Amino acid sequence: MVSAHTRAISTASGRHLLAKIVPTSDNRVSSPQLLIKSRKAPAPEGFIAHSSKLEGFANSPYYVHWSKGVIQHVYIVEDEELSLVNFKKGVASFFQFQLLDTQQTEKDTSGKCIVTYTSKDPHNFKKTKTNCVSGKNIPFILHPDEV
C-alpha cells in the first residue's frame, strides 16, 4: 500500500482540492478538502481551508484501471454525486504520468490535452496540461458488481 498527500500548485483560479490518497485494491479518497487563496493565509502558498459541499458527500470506494502508466477506465458506484465523481476522476489522473522530458497529446480524465513533462531532479517532475478539449475521454463505467 502506498500513501500520498496531494496538493495542486497555485493557479489563477485560486482554488485547490487537498486529499490523502491511499492506493489499494479499493481506492478511497480520505478527507477531501477545498482550499482557497487568501491574503489571510500564511506564506508561501497562501491557501486556507474553506467549507465545501464535497465534505458532506457519501464517499464510496472506486476502482481505476491503470495499465502501463495510462488510465484506461474509472469505475464508480451508481448514484455518486457528480462533484465527487469529477474529484475522483481528477485524483485518478494524478497516476497518469511519464518520467521522461517530453511533450505529447494525452487523453485522461480532463479530456484530450497537450501535456508537457519536465524533470526537476531524479525524484520530481512537473506535468503541465494545456489546450484540453473535453469530450468522450476516459470511459466512465458503473461497476457491474457491488463495490
What is the pLDDT, as a whole number, of residue 116? Answer: 93
What is the pLDDT, as a whole number, of residue 101? Answer: 93
What is the pLDDT, as a whole number, of residue 73? Answer: 82
Q: How far is CA 48 from CA 8, 28, 34, 35, 41, in A?
A: 13, 23, 8, 5, 6
What is the pLDDT, as a whole number, of residue 134? Answer: 77
**Tens digit of each residue's pLDDT, the chain (147 residues):** 233 333 434 444 444 445 555 555 555 556 666 677 777 766 666 777 777 776 777 778 888 888 887 888 888 888 888 878 888 888 888 888 888 899 999 887 777 889 999 988 888 888 888 888 876 544 555 555 544
What is the pLDDT, as a whole number, of residue 11? Answer: 45
What is the pLDDT, as a whole number, of residue 118? Answer: 92
List, in sequence order, every beta strand (DSSP E) within the chain.
4-7, 15-22, 28-37, 47-50, 62-67, 70-76, 102-108, 111-121, 124-133, 140-142
**Strands 70-76 and 140-142: what pairing?**
parallel
What is the pLDDT, as a whole number, of residue 137? Answer: 45
What is the pLDDT, as a whole number, of residue 4? Answer: 35
CATH classification of 4-142, choosing from 2.30.230.10, 2.100.10.30, 2.40.10.10, 1.10.1510.10?
2.30.230.10
What is the pLDDT, as a whole number, of residue 144? Answer: 56
What are the domain boundaries of the chain? 4-142
Query: Nearest CA to 25 among 53, 55, 61?
Result: 61
